[in-house]
Amino acid sequence: MSSNSKTSSKTKKKTSPFAGIVLGIFEDIGPIPKYSHTRIPKEIVSHMVVHGMSAVHGDKDNLIGLFGPLPVFAKKDLRYLIFSFVVTASNTKDVRIAEHGRVCSIFLILKESQERTILNNHLTIEKILQDFITSHWKKETDITKSSLLELYRKINERVLVKEIRAFSYGKGGLIEFEDPQQMLKEGILIIIDLKVKKAYLFLPKELFDSKTRISAIKKIEELNQREYGSQLKIIKYRDYLKFKKILDKHNIQLVK
């Protein structure tokens, strides 16, 4: 595919699938949130930390690793991932914690609509967490809010969501273009705008028979239900000039 397209930086904008990060620690009195970077109310954050750490640490064998997504109490549109680890404790009166270390957990809060993105990047997120914690947080006193935000930035640099997705549907089925700014001019063309939650299909009768058009619509309806909970509004175009307005809006180039 040609790479000489003069695309706008705005149309290539990507957003974070996350809605914040929280560090929970298992204090002598039990699990509490230590640092929080999210707009979620404090009482909900506290409930999430207590529930999450208690669930993961109910069995000591389930101490290390990335778990979730799990639901956030009272926030139906949010989920969280939890990654637990152990550091050398400081200022503890608990003999077990002094001997075995302080259990800590990273909570990555995500939007329900982005579960697909998160699951596709699960191993990448886990590797970033493991590498950062191993190299930066050996002792409890190493963990600061600024270092937590640095970790959050590193994750967001690697795990971003495209606001636009582009597909074509033809003999090979439904194919997604890696670069949504450049689409091959073949098959039924489909653009998903996640910002406005709309899927645009170009379905010219003169190019595709009814069976192909119906099949393309069905595939997008299946994708809509599977990945977006049927939240996308599907809009069909027969007129190329009207569909071209969508292409131009997002600076999408059709190439042969």
Residue with tokens 């329900």: 112
Q: What is the pLDDT of residue 8?
A: 40
Q: What is the pLDDT of residue 159?
A: 86
Domains, the chain: 17-159 (3.30.450), 163-255 (3.40.20.10)
Q: What is the pLDDT of residue 227?
A: 81
Q: What is the pLDDT of residue 4?
A: 40
Q: Which residues of 16-26 are buried (b: 16+ CB within 10 A; e: fewer)?
A: bbbbbbbbbbb
SS3 content of the chain, % helix, strand, coil (to 5): 35, 35, 30
**Residue ranges, the chain, pLDDT below 70:** 1-14, 57-63
pLDDT digits (tens, 9 = 90+) for 126-149: 999 999 999 999 999 999 999 999
* Cα 26 versus chain centre, distance: 27
Q: How many CB atoms lie within 10 A of CB 239?
A: 10
pTM, full prediction: 0.69
Q: How many CB atoms lie within 10 A of CB 200?
A: 24
Q: What is the pLDDT of residue 126?
A: 95
Distances (CA, A) of 132 to 60, 96, 115, 127, 128: 23, 26, 23, 8, 6
Q: What is the pLDDT of residue 178?
A: 83
